[in-house]
Amino acid sequence: MHSAITERYIDVRGSITEDNMSRIDYSKWNHIEVSDDEDETHPNVDTPSLFRMRHKARVRRMEKAKEEREEMERGKNENSNKLQEMKQVLEKLETEGASESILSGVSAEVNQLEEDERKWRAKEEEIAKKERLTPWNVDTLSQDGFEKTLINKYEEEEDATKTDLKQRENEFTEKYEHEMKEFGMYSGLGESERFLLGHPHLASEFTAQFLAAWCLDLEDQGKSSLVEQVAHQTLLMQYLLELAKTMKTDPRACIRPFFLKMAKAEEQNQSSFREELDAFKDRIRKTAKDRQRLVQKLADEKAEEERRSSLGPGGLDPVEVMKSLPEEIRDCFETQDVPLLQERLSQMSFQEAKYHMDRCEKAGIWRPSVEQNGAKAANQESSEDQDNNI
C-alpha cells in the first residue's frame, strides 16, 4: 500500500523519475578542492600543520584573485568614465565648429579609449573564465545568506534613552547627510546664514557631531584644505548651539540673531573665534593621529597573533620552511611520499639532511615516529653520559 502511494505521488509530481535524474548535470561537482580534514596523511606528517599550510596558501591565492578583479574593475570604470567625457567633449567641439586639427586630436583619443575598453572587456572575460575554472573549496562552497541573532534582555530607562538618541542620530544622518555636507562647504557668514534659514532643521547637535566626525575622516585622508573649511563650519554650528542654550530657546529660532551677532562682533570676539578654531583643528589632527596609531597597533597585534598561530612546535613558519627546502625534498612532502623522501635524504650529506629535517620538525610539517623519538632520546642520553665521563 505504501509503495503504491509513493509511486502514485512520484508519477503525479513528475520530479523523481529516471528521465529527470538523467537530465541533472553533476559535472560541476567534479573539481571540488575537498576539505582538508578528509585527506589521509602519512603518520610521520603532522596533519594540523600541513592543513594550516595548505589553507594559508589557498587563502593567499583567493586574495590575489580578488585583488586582480578589483584592479580590473577599477581600471575598466575609469576608462569608461573618461571615454564618456571625451565623447561629450568631441560632440561639443563638433557643434561649435572647432578646427579640423583639434577634432582629429580628440577623435584619436576617443579611438584609443575605445580600444582600451575592448581590452578591459577581454580582461574581464579572462578573469571570469579563470573564476569558473577555479575549483570550489571549503571557503567558497557555502556562504551565509544572512546572519541575525536576537537576545531578549531588560534595559534600564537611561540605556533605552541612549539607544533612542543614537537611532534618531542615525536617521537624521541618513536623511540629511547631503545637506550637512553642503553646509560644511560654505565659507562666508552670509551664504551660511541663507542656507540655514532655508534648512533650519540643520540647527542641531546631530549636525555638529556629523561635521566633527567628517573632519576626522578628511584628516585621515590627508585632505587638509577641506579640514580647514569644514572645521570652520563645525565651530560655527557649535557657537550657534551655545547661543541657543544661553537664550534657553530652540536653535532654529537663533539662526538670524546668531549671524547678526557674528556680523557685528568686535575684533576681540573674532580673534577669540579664530583661536578656538585653531585649537579645534589641533584637536582634530591629534585625534586623527591617535586613531591611526590605534588602528596600526591593532593591525600589528592581529598580524603577530596570526603569525604565532601558524608557527610549528619549534617556532618556525611551515610555509617559509617549505619554501627553503630543496625542490626534490619539497616534492616528497607535497606528495607525502615518505619512502622517496628517505631515499633522497640518503643521497645528501648527513649534516645537510639533518639540517633540513630538524627545521621540518620545528615547523611541524614532519613528526618523528615513536621509534625515532626513542632513538633520538637514547642518543641524547649517550651524549650526556660521555660529557659526564669527560
Stated pTM of the model = 0.41
Whether the CB-CB separation of 333 and 324 falls below 8 Å is answered with no
- Write down the residue that cell numbers 536576537 correspond to: 150
Share of the chain above pLDDT 70, in %: 72
Q: CA–CA separation, 93 vs 107, rounded Å? A: 10
| pLDDT single digits (tens) 222-255 | 888 888 889 899 999 999 999 888 888 898 988 9
Number of H helices, E strands in the chain: 15, 0
Q: CA–CA separation, 194 vs 170, rounded Å? A: 26
Q: What are the contacts of 246-253 at 24+ separation with CB within 8 A?
A: 251/203, 251/204, 252/200, 252/201, 252/203
Q: CA–CA separation, 28 vs 136, rounded Å? A: 9
| pLDDT single digits (tens) 67-98 | 888 888 888 888 888 888 888 877 877 887 77
| Average pLDDT estimate for 356-378 | 67
Helix ranges restricted to H, 248-266: 255-263
Rg (CA), the chain: 35
Count other Cβ atoms within 10 Å, centred on residue 231.
Answer: 23
Dihedral sign computed on CA atoms, order 248, 250, 256, 261: positive
Q: Which residues contact 288 (CB under 8 A, 6 or more apart)?
A: 216, 219, 220
Listed ranges 155-159, 312-316, 366-370; the one with the highest mean pLDDT: 312-316
Q: CA–CA separation, 252 vs 241, rounded Å? A: 9
Whether the CB-CB separation of 319 and 57 falls below 8 Å is answered with yes
